[in-house]
Amino acid sequence: MTRQGPPSDSGQDGAQDGAGRQRLLGDVLAHLVEHGIGDLSLRQLAAAVGSSHRMIIYHFGSRDGLLVEIVRAMEKQQRAAFAAMQSEPATSAVELGRRMWRRLSDPALAPFERLFFEIYGQALQGRAYAQPLLDGVVEDWLGPVAEYLIREGREPAEARAQARLGLAATRGLLLDLLATGDRAGVDLAMEQMLTVFAAPSPPGSTPG
């Protein structure tokens, strides 16, 4: 099915169209962070952000397409937060992991975490609408985390393996927290996992 032009902005060029899409996504995301996801009626959501459901459909194709982009935008925000935390004073790998865990496990993010796992599962089932989530869902995290660990003195192969372990453990514990609500248990498990990052670097390696 061919996507039709925007109902009111058909004269805009591609760059303007892309900027409009990003602005709309930002407005939607800001609204959902404040008010929650709920049933996410496109008409109600569009009215709340001063747009129309036709514009949302134009830019994102469908309600499902919008949900995928919401998840991807939240993931991008968390990676930006990870990058910013690296510049904070006296940030070791363990403390950085601890700070990120506190951020990701904040109860305010629980609706977005549930949405992430729902769409991730749909993508793994082969649902076409969810497939874009798989593009970089692992690699986009492995790269920056491994780079940080290399600067901390890990060998590249070790850094990448530890980054993968950290990502898998974090997502697994977030799923555990959503399923059980056992905050004390998952926090303790995360502390145990973070001991991996406190291990001495191999002989001969030096921080970059």
Distance CA(169)–CA(174), nearest Å, equals: 8
183-198 burial string, b = 16+ CB within 10 Å, else e? eeebbebbeebbeebe
**Residue type at position 202:** P
Average pLDDT in the 151-156 region?
A: 92
Q: What is the pLDDT of residues 173-200, one digit of tens each?
A: 999 999 999 999 999 999 999 998 886 5
Domain 11-61, classified CATH 1.10.760, yes or no? no
What string of H, E and C letters represents the secondary structure of the chain?
CCCCCCCCCCCCCHHHHHHHHHHHHHHHHHHHHHHCCCCCCHHHHHHHCCCCHHHHHHHHCCHHHHHHHHHHHHHHHHHHHHHHHCCCCCCCHHHHHHHHHHHHCCHHHHHHHHHHHHHHHHHHCCCHHHHHHHCCCCHHHHHHHHHHHHHCCCCHHHHHHHHHHHHHHHHHHHHHHHHHCCHHHHHHHHHHHHHHHHCCCCCCCCCC
So what's the pLDDT on residue 62?
83
Directed axis angle between helix 53-60 and helix 14-35, to 10°? 120
So what's the pLDDT on residue 33?
77
Domain ranges of the chain: 11-61, 68-198
Q: What is the pLDDT of residues 138-152, one digit of tens each?
A: 999 999 999 999 998
Q: What is the pLDDT of residues 58-67, one digit of tens each?
A: 988 888 888 8
Tokens of 147: 């780079």
Is the model's pLDDT at 133 over the cut of 90? Answer: yes
Average pLDDT in the 21-41 region?
A: 79
Distance CA(127)–CA(169), nearest Å, equals: 25
Average pLDDT, the chain: 85
